[in-house]
Amino acid sequence: MEHAVLQLPTGPILWRVETHGRERYLPGRRYWYENLNRQPFGLCTLQLTLAGEAVFREAKSDHPVPFGYAMLFAYGEPTAYGLTDAHTKPYQCRWLNLHGAGLVEHWNALRRRHGSVIDFTGSGLEERMMELASLISPEQASDVTRKARMVSDFVYWLIDWAEQRLASRQSSVERAVDQMLRQPTLAMSLKTVANMFGCSREHLCREFRKRVGQAPGAYLSQARLQHALRLIASTQLPIKAVAQQSGFVSTHTLARRIKQATGTSPMGYREMSQRRA
């Protein structure tokens, strides 16, 4: 039997370290890079300041990158970085270029949530970068799957570090709102979430509406409905499993919401979706 094969873009598929380096620049020496036309498109860079300070330019705004901070960017985007006339001290950095299918989407998700300049003071980031840099030595050349796992672990460590720093600065109710936004299909009531984070249900509702512009009940109901509709249309999961995976307390509740939204039953919606495909 022949199988359709998804055509992936050319270039590295497994995540890998492309290049790395450690550099030092003196004041007055030109050091400025525009990323828009750099190739290969989508190559992801992490650059940690070891001494001095650089600047990262994004959306016409300049962001300082002092000691212990790192800038994250990708080739092919309208950002820039380097030193300006205002910088009077030597700048030293360590950088990594990472590449692979889907990596830039992870990179940009991290940046959308935490910004392109992140404080890594006290994290041990440089040691982790040096460990990754060793992956492109000749002795490591053959073990590409191990390299990919290590790069993946590194990227998720960056995300974990940024999340922990964010959580340490958030109030309990802010963390509760984050939980609901990031995992709307968890079958938990507002009261349960509020109790979990040590805040009142009323305070949680006010903070959620303030941030999202919508009541939490309405937001969660719509998010769960859309998730259920995707599962019904694209899988053959039993409706009970769809309800469980979408955060509905019962198949009856799911069926009622689908009827309200589409005018048909869950199975009717599945049949209709399959006819359209």
Q: Summarize pLDDT for 58-90 with one digit per residue, the tens.
A: 998 999 999 999 999 999 999 999 999 999 999
Q: Which amino acid is at 230?
A: R
Does 10 score more than 70 pLDDT?
no
Question: What's the pLDDT at 3?
Answer: 47
Beta strands 69-74; 16-25: pairing state: unpaired
Query: Which sign, positive or negative, has the C-alpha torsion 69, 74, 80, 84?
Result: positive
Question: What's the pLDDT at 11?
Answer: 55
Does 9 score more than 90 pLDDT?
no
Interacting residues of 275 by C-beta distance below 8 A, sequence separation 6+: none
Q: Summarize pLDDT for 138-196 with one digit per residue, the tens.
A: 666 667 888 899 999 999 999 999 999 988 888 999 999 999 998 999 988 999 999 99
